[in-house]
Amino acid sequence: MANAAPSPGTADSADGLPAETRRWAIIAIAIAVGMATLDTAIANTALPAIAVDLHASPAASVWIVNAYQLAMVATLLPLAALGEIVGYRRVYLGGLALFTLASLACAMSSSLPTLAGARVLQGLGASAIMSVNTALLRFIYPSRLLGRGLGFNSLIVAVAFAVGPTVASVILSVSTWPALFAVNVPLGLVAFFLAYRALPETTRASHGFDIWVALFNVGAFGMLILALGEATHRAGFAKVVPELAAALIFGALLLRRQAGHPAPMLPVDLFRRPMFALSTLTAICSFAAQGLAFVSLPFYFETVLGRSQVETGFLMTPWPVVVAMMGPIAGRLSDRYSAGVLGGIGMATLCVGMTLLALLPQHPSVFNIGWRMAVCGAGFGFFQAPNLKAIMGSAPASRSGGASGMVATARLLGQTTGAALVALCFTISSSHGAALALAVGAVFAGSASVASFSRLFAITPPFATP
């Protein structure tokens, strides 16, 4: 192992790491990103069991999920900015260590407040991992192979998010809910060892870290996610509207404070680049479509079709399986072809797949469901790697942290928006809520396709030389 994973050196974004070291670095990132993404999904499945064991009400137990999401989304951009200043490797290792320790604390929790507090720490650790992992890939892979690396990374994220409920169901069938968190401890230790040995040191920015900008960012995104979460659980306007108003106020303070900064935490400088702005918009729409599908379909399978949790997990499987097949292919193609074309085709395919799911017959067979899910997976898998490469490639290397932070922020904003819209759809129609949510998801996927094809006409200005 010592020969396979030498001590880290300074990586160049064009050359990357040597092949042998690169292999260990990618394994470390895959384990950590997989754990952080999986923990976003498994808590929803385990929530009823945790609530019963901790004698918590359903309304109070929702904070087991909300605490993780709030901590994660609110700190993604500040931690990405910190990575540009102190080095992506340091932020990543610190986040991985915190995530592993917090997972142990979650497994040992005996009350709801203790578990919610541990989940906040776990969310902070996950945020540090997710905020800089895409930036690190830019320094791990040589530029000619970056698309392939991003394809593998998008594969890990998509599959972990999709199989989360199934993994949770399997673990809960043989053990209790603390095992869901305890399993992260040995995996986290392995990932930390590999990351410490293999991840590269990167160049660091000369500007300082503005704590006020970070706090305003936490307030803006934290209140926004809280409002969307409240909407998901059908809270009244008296709760949601003040939270949205607070998000807008903090957002205004954030923009005012960071005006004129050479590397703003909320990367408005990058949004002036049409390729970056359109690619981020495409990502938000695509993950909103995915969120609409993955929140609504389990309700449809279990309440309408009468399937068990395990059967529901298997019915969801074709989507991530086909994503796993298409992700590496799309990654290789993205090194040769335009992200606008590849992403547009992928999102158009997802739009068709979700429309077909919305039009399922009254008593569909497993085959009828499976091939439609496979079409969705093909579209989603074909889109991710090219879009990631477009986002990272449209930002200069010195702003890789800001671009990486936006990748993770766009994904979580999209997923949370999708979940909130599912609640609205079921409020409109309890019997046809799932079909309505899938139709809305098809609209989001179609919008993402239009935004992606629009990149063919976008002109990105050259990077400013320092």
Q: Please say if the pLDDT value at position 463 is more than 60.
A: no
Average pLDDT over residues 118-137: 90
Supply the pLDDT for residue 250: 92
User: Any idea which of 70-74, 353-357, 458-462 has the lowest mean pLDDT?
Assistant: 458-462
Tell me: the pLDDT tens digits for 245-260?
A: 998 999 899 888 888 7
Tell me: the pLDDT tens digits for 359-386?
A: 988 888 889 999 999 999 999 988 888 8
Supply the pLDDT for residue 96: 95
Supply the pLDDT for residue 461: 58
User: Any idea which of 48-62, 126-140, 196-210, 241-255 has the lowest mean pLDDT?
Assistant: 48-62
Supply the pLDDT for residue 13: 47
Tell me: the pLDDT tens digits for 282-302?
A: 999 999 998 888 878 887 887
Q: For residue 231, how many other CB atoms are within 10 A of its CB?
A: 23
Q: Please say if the pLDDT value at position 6 is more than 50.
A: no
Which sequence spans correspond to the domains of the chain?
A: 1-205, 211-260, 266-458
Q: Please say if the pLDDT value at position 465 is more than 50.
A: no
User: Any idea which of 176-185, 217-226, 256-265, 342-351 has the lowest mean pLDDT?
Assistant: 256-265
Q: Please say if the pLDDT value at position 395 is more than 70.
A: yes
Q: Which amino acid is at 370?
A: G
Supply the pLDDT for residue 2: 39
Q: Which amino acid is at 261?
A: H
Supply the pLDDT for residue 4: 41
Q: Please say if the pLDDT value at position 450 is more than 70.
A: yes
Average pLDDT over residues 116-127: 92
Which CATH number applies to 266-458: 1.10.150.120, 1.10.287.70, 1.10.40.30, 1.20.1250.20? 1.20.1250.20
Mean pLDDT of the chain: 83
Is it true that 1-205 and 266-458 share their CATH fold? yes
Average pLDDT over residues 145-163: 74
**DSSP at 263:** S
Distance CA(334)–CA(459), nearest Å, equals: 18
User: Which of the four pLDDT bands, split at 50, 70 and 90, describes residue 83?
Assistant: confident
Supply the pLDDT for residue 350: 95
* Residues 380, 335, 265, 9, Cα dihedral to 10°: 120
Average pLDDT over residues 17-35: 86
Kindly state the percentage of the chain with pLDDT values over 70: 91
Q: Please say if the pLDDT value at position 102 is more than 90.
A: yes
The DSSP secondary structure of 293-312, one letter per residue, reads: HHHHHHHIIIIIS---HHHH
Supply the pLDDT for residue 439: 94
User: How is residue 27 written in tokens?
Assistant: 């394994």
Q: Please say if the pLDDT value at position 309 is more than 80.
A: no
Kindly state the percentage of the chain with pLDDT values over 90: 26
Tell me: the pLDDT tens digits for 420-448?
A: 788 788 878 777 888 899 999 999 999 99
| 10 DSSP β-pair partners | 201
User: Which of the four pLDDT bands, split at 50, 70 and 90, describes residue 1?
Assistant: very low
Tell me: the pLDDT tens digits for 257-267?
A: 888 777 788 88
Q: Please say if the pLDDT value at position 133 is more than 70.
A: yes
Tell me which residue of 304, 447, 432, 452 sits closest to 384, measured CA to CA: 452
Give Cβ neighbours of residue 279 (< 8 Å, ≥ 6 apart). 339, 343, 387, 390, 391, 394, 455
3-state secondary structure 30-90: HHHHHHHHHHHHHHHHHHHHHHHHCCCCHHHHCHHHHHHHHHHHHHHHHHHHHHHHHCHHH
Asked if 185 and 107 touch (Cβ cutoff 8 Å), the reply is yes
Supply the pLDDT for residue 442: 95
User: Which of the four pLDDT bands, split at 50, 70 and 90, describes residue 51?
Assistant: confident
Asked if 188 and 102 touch (Cβ cutoff 8 Å), the reply is no
Q: Which fold has domain 1-205?
A: Growth Hormone; Chain: A; (1.20.1250)
Handedness of CA 120, 73, 57, 243 (dihedral sign): positive
